[in-house]
Structure 1
Amino acid sequence: MLHKKDDIRGELLDEVFASTELSVSLPKYRMPPNEHLASHAHQLVIDELMLDGNSRQNLATFCQTWLEPEVRAIMAETLDKNMIDKDEYPQTAELEARCVHILADLWNSPEAANTLGTSTTGSSEAAMLGGMALLWNWRARRREAGKPTDKPNLITGPVQVCWHKFARYWDVELREIPMEGDRYIMNADEVIARVDENTIGVVPTLGVTFTGQYEPVHAVNEALDALQEETGLDIPIHVDGASGGFIAPFTVPELVWDFRLPRVKSINASGHKFGLAPLGVGWIVWRDAAELPEELIFDVNYLGGNMPTFALNFSRPGGQIVAQYYNFVRLGREGYRKVHMSCHDTAMYLAEQISQLGHFEIINDGGAESGIPAVSWKLKEGVEHPFNLFDLGDRLRTRGWQVPAYTMPKNREDLPVQRILVRQGFDRDAASLLMDDYRAAIAHFDAHPIVNSMTEEEAGTFHH
């Protein structure tokens, strides 16, 4: 026993990389038979993560990758809080409720003090809840009119995969408006051409995934008003504000897209995108309580008290919600405006610099009027290019940058584009360094033209 104690003492005093535990390869797909020192296991895991990309250089993601030290401290202090257990953590539940009312007010709800909404694990879950409310309300109207409920449909522009999931999971026909020529988003005419009595709702996106553009919510609303006058069809709108819901109110407050339009019944947004919160929080707010069917609300007698719940998840962390509330208090409307306008300014700088390279045509310049701080572009037609966008994206990865190149969805699959998301933490200096690497990459291809360019599958770095 004394000899074993000396062995253990020696192991504890070893420099971590001189230890016997790190001198062998541990099993990766089954548990090791014995325990290991915490410091050694920690070093092993951290070293493996070195192979990941640098998230700050990931210009593909919409998600927040820079956080204030105070937010990191909040996350550390709230790791043990289960959001669903409102009886044990009543103040965390209160902060969630405050966030819902803050968002309802931000989105101009006529009943902001009494509205219904909830946090979710992300905008996709929030979108699902919005879609479910549209579906349940449509079914109720159809049953009351004595009509069948077996062929619901939903109209969207080019959408992110969560709406495809919703349509498949709940057996709803997704009438996704395809891109045509230089039109990359929905418009009112395309919406009206697809509406019928089985339409549960229309979903414009405030910040389309592929280009960053805002879809014309106000124009769609007016077209649906005119349709109702002509036909009696009353079609509701759910706005997918995953990104733009946390940007437009601060940067273009005059843009009418939210609850100022009576036809807008619900809005979802992603707190961990331009809401500036850590990964793992989304939000949905309904115009008023009547728009959320009672059948979707469950009263759960569990964990010490009766709790109404209408999220798809149950247990989930509370730290992201607390951090979201911190951001609201910390930044206020003016702080959010400054952050997002700075991102727009950097995006427009990038658009100008990219257009000067001679190879590219800008689709969206990232300005506040056109959409979120996202720059998207394609190769110029009628110009010789010694590379394609997939080659360029692959070359930039040698410097750590992840700049996605991808083909557009239905009817424009022939069009490869590239896109940069400008988020908090990507400043003008970083943008100028990126442009230096763009120029170096193009100079490389000028000297070494690509004979057999990459395909999207071969690039393998990013897919919509």
Structure 2
Amino acid sequence: MSTSPRDVDAALFGNRFAIEEVPTREFPAEGMSAVDAMRLLGEDLALEGDPARNLATFVTTWMEPEAQRVIAQNLHRNFIDHAEYPRTAEIEQRCIRMLADLFHAPGETTGARTQGSSEAIMLGALSLKWNWRKRREAEGASTSSPNLVFGGDVHVVWEKFCRYFDVEPRIVPLTPGKYTIGPEDVAPHVDENTIGVAAVLGTTFTGHKDDIVGINDLLVRLKRERGLDVPLHVDGASGGFVWPFLYPDSPWDFRLEQVRSINVSGHKFGLVYPGIGWLIFRERADLAPDLVFTENYLGKTDATFTLNFSTGSAMVLAQYYNLVRYGRAGYTYIMRNMQLNAQVLAEKLQAMGRFELIGAGEEQLPLVAFRLAEQQPYDEFDIAWQLSAERGWMVPAYTLPPDAQDVTIMRALVKQTLSREHVDTLARDIEEACATLDKKGGVHETERRRIVTGSGH
């Protein structure tokens, strides 16, 4: 391969892609130097937003240098190879046992690491379906019409599960001013074909929790009065690493009789980079045995219960690093700091006289959900665009699910990297954005469509 003078100059003086188009469609006929490949990617990523200003995503955007070193040193290690990497498998089990303890499991339990809460939810719901089917078969009853009850405040993965695995979704709609569900919402939908009820601990919309205690009490009553043993799964994707530290006396987990399984995202408030999730069962019997595969892989017989097979070990090890690095005291310190900064931001927004806070004073994730208190010549989408376009903040605006789809709110997630100084700056920028919009009115619709409207699992 001949080298052109331009290639020589680029190698000596700078970046060859300063004036060349980058490969985008055709598989490259030839490669390039490692430096050029790195620069190509660097220039693309330079156009993205700053993760430190991304207040939409729940996903972890910063870890300690020591944790990053653990990750870098183990990116090549395939988690599924238990015969070759038995200590990694043991560390996974340590994490499961620690989380089961955190969630007050009453005895011996089991679970699995997953790519995130989406996979954990799929697996947990599959176990609900399999166990329901086994109960119905033992009764000599039909297994043709399973249903699953959940609120409109859930992540879309719950609807995906129902569609992919042929389960009727019984979705409780939200209403203006009520953005979570309780027992009175669930009761009309539960019958002998209900495989389970899903309740959310920390919704992606407002950060609040469903009335998990009330739903549990309803299910306990149905079991005793009508013989319907309907399990409760708690979707703790966001809240599973928050409530134990901010609200330790608030029962939502295995302290409640009908809670049989819990999912949590390690890559959210578990403070690990994506992707790592966890599924924890109350006891071993809650994992349907027919879903567990025993296979002989590379000379070792293992039981597997995941949708994925090969996957990296790095984030499992990073999760264990965090659990032993922080412990209860460290996680509590970090969560309280985030909560305090969220409270400061809420106070500053309220002092502006422009906004209404959503669910202030209730148990909530460390975030602020808010909306315009009065009708203006602009809306929440305009504020989000103004913050993004002129100030670099990603603060999502979005409408709520049915039947609250006419309600638009904003949400600022306060994470570990958002310092008090950042909070003060954000509050000033929101006030200045509103002042700018007071003068010019709403943003043109074509510009508004570019807004990022949120992030879930």
TM tier, smaller: over 0.9
Structure 1 counterpart of 2:366? 373
Q: Which amino acid aligns with 2:144?
A: D
- Alpha-carbon RMSD across the aligned residues, in angstroms, is 2.1
Q: 1:64 Cα deviation (Å)?
A: 0.6
Percent same amino acid among aligned pairs?
A: 43
Q: Does 1:161 align with 2:159?
A: no
The corresponding residue for 2:34 is 38
Q: Counterparts in 2 of 1:231-310, with a 5 A limit?
A: 231-310=226-305
Larger RCO of the pair (alpha carbons < 8 Å, separation 6+) = 2
Q: Per-residue CA shift, 1:70-94, capped at 9, x if unaligned?
A: 1111111011111111111111111
Amino acid across the alignment from 2:431 = R
Match of residue 427 from structure 1: 419
In the alignment, structure 1 residue 401 sits paired with structure 2 residue 419: no
Counterparts of 1:410-449 in structure 2, within 5 Å, are 410-449=402-441
Distance 2:23 2:189 in 1: 55
Residue 45 of structure 2 aligns with an amino acid whose one-letter code is L
Selected match of 1:131 from 114, 118, 125: 125
Superimposed CA distance per residue, residues 131-185 of structure 1 (whole angstroms, 9 cap, x where no aligned partner): 0000000000011111111111111122111101111101111112111231110
In 2: Cα distance, 1:362 partner to 1:26 partner: 46
Pair 1:185–1:456, CA change in 2 (3 A):
farther
| Superposition deviation, residue 16 in structure 1 | 2.7
**Counterpart pick for 2:142 among 148, 169, 173:** 148
How many pairs were matched up?
Answer: 453
Aligned partners of 2:357 and 2:370 also within 8 Å: yes
Q: Could you tell me which residue of structure 1 aligns to residue 177 of structure 2?
A: 182
Q: Structure 1 pair 355/455, CA: closer, same or farther in 2 (3 Å)?
A: farther
Give the 3-state SS of the residue equivalent to 1:361 in structure 2.
strand
Secondary structure of the structure 2 residue equivalent to 1:377: strand
Q: In 2, are the aligned partners of 1:22 and 1:40 still within 8 Å (CA)?
A: no
Q: CA shift at 1:386, angstroms?
A: 2.9
Residue 262 of structure 1 and its aligned partner are, at CA, apart by 2.1
Structure-2 separation of matches of 1:227 and 1:453 = 53
CA distance in 2, matches of 1:374, 1:405: 14
In the TM superposition, residue 219 of structure 1 has moved relative to its aligned partner by 1.4
Return the offset for 1:208: 1.1
Distance 2:357 2:126 in 1: 37
Q: CA deviation at 1:331?
A: 0.4
The answer as to whether partners of 2:95 and 2:320 remain within 8 angstroms in 1 is: yes
AA in 2 matched with 1:32? P
In structure 1, which of residues 50, 60, 67 is the aligned counterpart of residue 63 of structure 2? 67
Q: 1:22 to 1:307 in 2, by over 3 A?
A: farther
What's 1:390 paired with? 381
* 2:369–2:412 CA contact under 8 A, matched in 1: yes
Deviations 1:301-356 (A, max 9, x none): 12332111101100011100100000011001000000001111111111111112
Q: Which SS does the other structure have where 1:234 is aligned?
A: coil
Give the direction of change, closer, same or farther, for the CA distance of 1:34–1:192 in structure 2 (3 Å limit). Answer: same
TM-score by length of 1: 0.93
1:213 aligns with 2:205: no
SS state of the match for residue 189, structure 2?
coil
Residue by residue over 1:21-57, the C-alpha shift from the partner in whole angstroms, topping out at 9 and shown as x without a partner, is 6542233111221121110111111111111111111
Per-residue CA deviations over 1:393-430 (Å, capped at 9, x if unaligned) read: 00000211111100010111111111111111111111
Give unmatched runs, 5+ long, in structure 2.
none
Checking the alignment, whether the CA contact within 8 Å between 2:22 and 2:40 is kept in structure 1 is no
Structure 1 segments (4+ residues) deviating >3 Å: 4-13, 452-457
Q: SS of the counterpart of 1:214?
A: coil
Matches of 1:83 and 1:182, distance apart in 2: 45
For 1:255, give the aligned amino acid.
S
What residue is the counterpart of 1:192 in the other structure? 187
TM-fit CA distance, 1:10: 5.1
| TM-score normalized with structure 2 length | 0.95
- 1:227 Cα deviation (Å)? 2.1
| Superposition deviation, residue 15 in structure 1 | 2.6
C-alpha distance in 1, partners of 2:69/2:410?
Answer: 36
1:14 paired residue number: 12
- Pair 388,143 (structure 1): closer, same or farther in 2 beyond 3 Å: same
SS of 1:275's equivalent in the other structure is coil
CA distance in 2, matches of 1:455, 1:15: 41
Match of 2:435, SS state, is helix
Which consecutive residues of structure 1, in runs of 5 or more, have no partner in the other structure? none
SS at match of 1:279: coil
Aligned to 2:99: 103
| C-alpha distance in 2 between matches for 1:455 and 1:408 | 21
- From the superposition, tell whether residues 384 and 221 of structure 1 become closer, same or farther in structure 2 (CA, over 3 Å): closer
For residues 341-399 of structure 1, the C-alpha deviation after alignment (integer angstroms, 9 at most, x for no partner) is 1111111111111112222111034x6x512112111222xx34131000000000021
